Amino acid sequence: MAATSANSDRQLLSVAPMMDWTDVHYRQMARLISKHTWLYTEMVVDQTIIHNPNTDRFLWFPPEQRPIVCQLGGSDPAKLAEAAKIVARYGYDEINLNCGCPSDRVAGAGCFGASLMLQPDTVAECCSAMRQAVDSTITVKCRLGVDNVDSYEALCNFISVVSKGSGVSHFIMHARKCLLKGLSPHENRTIPPLRYEWVFALKRDFPHLEFSLNGGLDSCQQAAAALQHSVDGASIHGVMIGRSAYNHPWACLADADVAVFGAAENAAKSRREVLAKYVEYADAVVGRYGVKPDGSRMPNVRTVARPLLNLFVGEPSGRKWRHLLDVALLKKPATISEVVQEVIKCVPEHVLDAPPKPRAQPAFATAQLPPPICSLADGPASAEWARRGEVSAGGNYGKDCCTSGSAPSMQAAAAGQNGGAAEISANGVAGLDDTEWQPGGDQQYSPVTVLQSAGIGGENEERSEKRLKSERVMVGA
């Protein structure tokens, strides 16, 4: 049973913030596919928008992209408050603080991302400062734990300290712990076991707060199943989907408005319609940020065309579409429309005009919930996090509770420890018969650099061109 249309403004389904992926161009295509799914920006470092005079490069978006959330990275309350004021001027519906990114490039650059979970008092101060600075809703995205600070009690302590100290009432939970040392960002998305039951337990133990589930879910049908699941009266507020929404945008999101939000119809009737509307947007936005001394426009045609590469993943013509799109872009066309007009001929008419395909709703299950934490009335002392955080910083992955373990031991055990995710993934879109296209290398967690925060750089077209050249090799393979 789908959610009712009365929930169309609730954050029942969202697309996760992903560096270099969920830029304004991808979000525009996603919005054309789903009207109600909430969209998140890439993480933007607070100092980037404080010190860069051209904040449009990082924050501008067409008004039709709402509902939309801006994710900020930082750990200084004053700087985050200043950045939040700038963000608020653009009309974002919410501002989210990144406390879940496991990359050491983020954790070591001003101490933000997942490492902030070891400092709940700091997180509370940061969120409180932003709430005082702006009227926007402030939320937190985090993990279940960090390094050996990974017990359910420690997680409850983090939630308690942050919510009481700042007034934040919505937490987006990536249902895995992370290891800041020993695992790469990619491994941190796959090796630590999923523990959906902890997210449901949080709702049981903090009934006045809202919790959204992130991790392991890859379709709107799975999201609908998770939203309908209840354990001991506890249910989640929403579901966030990450890489699948980028790698399989049509299969993941096209039925979301009906399946999740209970709308009478989906936003897009076909991919032909999506392409026509996206081309109109794309041709208008090329060069919006100016022209370089060499005459190249920012953004250029190739950057704006990139979200289209995955639009036909799963179709027999999908691989050919990506290859021909890439070949057409090598000719340095002046507009997106001329590229699409040339390449669209490779896609059969029945594929272009096919409506969103409803899929059967998969089963959703969780393991047994952990027992309630008795000390929640006053909130567990955050000193435990600080004490154990010092141990974690030294790379000691000591044994604690049920999720601890070293990086090697977790790698060895990961295949059979993903909780309810294994059952669900079998029904997801991962089995589509065309291999998904992915950008070269692991780009999800690369932060906006400190150089940009000082006003050097900005939208790095040269970096984008180098990365896209590597993508051509993958696309043509």
Would you kindly state where each structural domain of the chain is located, as residue ranges?
12-267+374-416, 271-357+428-438+460-476
Q: Can you tell me the distance from the alpha carbon of 353 to that of 361, in angstroms, rounded to the nearest whole number?
A: 24
**What is the secondary structure of 131-149 as a DSSP string?**
HHH-SSEEEEEE-SEETTB
| Cis geometry, peptide bond prior to residue 193 (ω within 30 degrees of 0) | no
pLDDT at 367: 93
What confidence tens digit (pLDDT) does each residue in 41-63 have?
A: 999 999 999 999 999 999 999 99
pLDDT at 398: 27
| Cis geometry, peptide bond prior to residue 293 (ω within 30 degrees of 0) | no
pLDDT at 452: 31
pLDDT band at 182 (very low <50, low <70, confident <90, very high): confident
Short-list 27, 31, 138, 22, CA closest to 80: 138
What confidence tens digit (pLDDT) does each residue in 424-470 have?
A: 333 333 333 333 333 333 333 333 322 233 232 333 444 444 443 44
Q: Can you tell me the distance from the alpha carbon of 362 to that of 66, in angstroms, rounded to the nearest whole number?
A: 29
pLDDT at 18: 95
**What is the secondary structure of 384-412 as a DSSP string?**
HHHHHHHHHHTT-----TTT---HHHHHH
Residues contacting 287, CB < 8 A, separation 6+: 297, 298, 299, 300
Percent of the chain at pLDDT exceeding 90: 66
C-alpha radius of gyration, the chain, whole number: 22
Q: Can you tell me the distance from the alpha carbon of 151 to that of 401, in angstroms, rounded to the nearest whole number?
A: 5
3-state helix, strand, coil in the chain (%, to 5): 45, 10, 45
CA dihedral (314, 227, 33, 351) positive or negative: positive
Under 8 Å between Cβ of 259 and 224: yes
Under 8 Å between Cβ of 130 and 84: yes
pLDDT at 106: 52
What confidence tens digit (pLDDT) does each residue in 188-218 have?
A: 676 788 999 999 999 999 999 999 999 999 9
Under 8 Å between Cβ of 65 and 39: yes
pLDDT for 86 beyond 90: yes
Amino acid in the structure at residue 439: P
Amino acid in the structure at residue 339: V
Q: Can you tell me the distance from the alpha carbon of 271 to that of 269, in angstroms, rounded to the nearest whole number?
A: 7
| pTM of this prediction exceeds 0.95 | no
pLDDT for 414 beyond 50: no
Number of H helices, E strands in the chain: 23, 13
What confidence tens digit (pLDDT) does each residue in 374-397 have?
A: 655 444 444 444 444 443 333 322
Query: Would you call 72 helix, strand, or coil by DSSP?
Result: strand
Residues contacting 40, CB < 8 A, separation 6+: 14, 15, 16, 17, 22, 68, 69, 70, 71, 96
Taking every pair of Cα atoms in the chain, the longest distance, rounded to a whole number of angstroms, is 65
Q: Can you tell me the distance from the alpha carbon of 380 to that of 373, in angstroms, rounded to the nearest whole number?
A: 9
Under 8 Å between Cβ of 113 and 99: yes
> What is the rounded average pLDDT of the residues 75-98?
98
Short-list 94, 87, 116, 121, CA closest to 103: 116
pLDDT for 348 beyond 50: yes
Give yes or no: 70 in active site. no
Q: Which two tokens stand for residue 470?
A: 């590597």
Q: Quick one: fold of 12-267+374-416?
A: TIM Barrel (3.20.20)
> What is the rounded average pLDDT of the residues 65-94?
97
Choosing from 70, 101, 126, 220, the catalytic residue is: 101
> What is the rounded average pLDDT of the residues 150-171?
97
pLDDT for 4 beyond 70: no
Under 8 Å between Cβ of 36 and 60: no
Q: Can you tell me the distance from the alpha carbon of 56 to that of 339, in angstroms, rounded to the nearest whole number?
A: 26
Q: Can you tell me the distance from the alpha carbon of 118 to that of 133, in angstroms, rounded to the nearest whole number?
A: 25
Please state whether beta strands 297-298 and 290-291 pair in parallel, antiparallel, or not at all (unpaired).
antiparallel
Short-list 65, 419, 11, 374, CA closest to 215: 419
* Residue bearing tokens 């470092």: 45
Amino acid in the structure at residue 27: R
Short-list 236, 216, 265, 206, CA closest to 34: 265
CA dihedral (69, 75, 81, 82) positive or negative: negative
